[in-house]
Amino acid sequence: MSVHFLQVSDTHWSRNRIAGEVDSKERTERLCEWIRGLDMPIDFVVHTGDLVHGGQRADDDGTSTAEVLQRFLELPYPFHAVVGNHDHRDVWPKWMGMRSGQPLTHRSDRWAYHFVCENERCVVLDARDSVDIDPRGCICDEQLQAIRLLLEQTTEPITLFSHYPPLPLDCEWIDQSMLMVNGVELHELLSRFSDRVRGVFFGHVHRPVALQRDGVLYASTGSVSLHFPNGPQDRAAQVQSDAISFANYVRLGDEGTLIKTQWIAW
């Protein structure tokens, strides 16, 4: 039995153009049209963070989050979402409803939960932390402990979703400013159970990247709206509004984790 999901990320939905020229609202509309037109099995769609652009600002009223969520929740598939550094987390329960699974911790201020699809356990992490470390993330001790218990007390294969990459990606500005600050701790835990961990899927870096370390697969999908350089010597998040939106079509199963990068040309 296999599970298929579609990973999208970093829509940065905004009523106004962002980065000078990008119509992220239109790109998100086109993405949802594209998803509706796909003729392949999809068990769920997961968005790995930054639904909106600037939702973390104090003056954000949450209506952007409501509008973009409406687009995704209207899709004919179960929808899951990970909190990103641009998201207005406080309004998520109002617009998302209840989390579609079991809470990962008792902390109500974290959007972290797990669910089972067929025989695959999926874990949605919330590593959004204080503004002091933004745009880096930090996974709280409660979530680390909950993941450890899931790995020790359940038997299903496990797939995790995060906004932040846990490990360095050989790019100066990303490694200095975009990682989960305690991602190595998460990795050391997952690597002990690498035979059961299907992968960790993340966003935030706005381009497709894949890393395998100690038997654990980490993979991102690109942004729907704008992109960043990721070369070893790139020193800044210079916006590249390439005429392309990305998605990952992923199959989980005993034949391995298969990722097919998809794109929509503009």
For helices 141-153 and 183-191, the axis angle rounded to 10 degrees is 10
Q: Which stretch binds Fe ion (CB under 5 A): 43-51, 96-104, 117-125, 177-185?
A: 43-51
Q: Which is nearer to Fe ion, 158 or 241 (CB)?
A: 241
Q: Which stretch binds Fe ion (CB under 5 A): 7-15, 55-63, 68-76, 232-240?
A: 7-15
CA distance 23 to 14: 8
DSSP bridge pairs for 79:
45
Which residue carries 């392949």 as its tokens?
40
Which residue carries 């652009």 as its tokens?
53
> Which residue is closest to Fe ion by CB?
50
Q: How far is the CB of 228 from Fe ion (least distance, A)?
A: 9
Q: How far is the CB of 143 from Fe ion (least distance, A)?
A: 21
Q: Which stretch binds Fe ion (CB under 5 A): 10-18, 54-62, 152-160, 207-215?
A: 10-18
Q: How far is the CB of 191 from Fe ion (least distance, A)?
A: 27
* 39 Cβ contact list (under 8 Å, min separation 6): none
Q: Which is nearer to Fe ion, 146 or 226 (CB)?
A: 226
Whether the Cβ atoms of residue 206 and residue 27 lie closer than 8 Å to each other: no
Whether the Cβ atoms of residue 3 and residue 45 lie closer than 8 Å to each other: no
Answer yes or no whether residue 87 interacts with Fe ion by CB under 5 A: no
DSSP category for residue 94: H
Q: How far is the CB of 203 from Fe ion (least distance, A)?
A: 6
Q: How far is the CB of 215 from Fe ion (least distance, A)?
A: 28
In 45-121, which residue ranges form alpha helices assigned H by DSSP?
63-73, 92-96
Enumerate residues 45-74 that contact Fe ion by CB under 5 A: 50
How many binding residues for Fe ion (CB under 5 A)? 2
Q: How far is the CB of 153 from Fe ion (least distance, A)?
A: 34
Chosen residue from 3, 10, 14, 127 binding Fe ion by CB under 5 A: 10
Strands, E assignment, 118-235: 120-124, 158-161, 197-202, 210-213, 216-220
Q: Which of 87, 95, 93 is nearest to 134 (CA)?
A: 87
Q: Which residues bind to Fe ion, rule: CB under 5 A? A: 10, 50
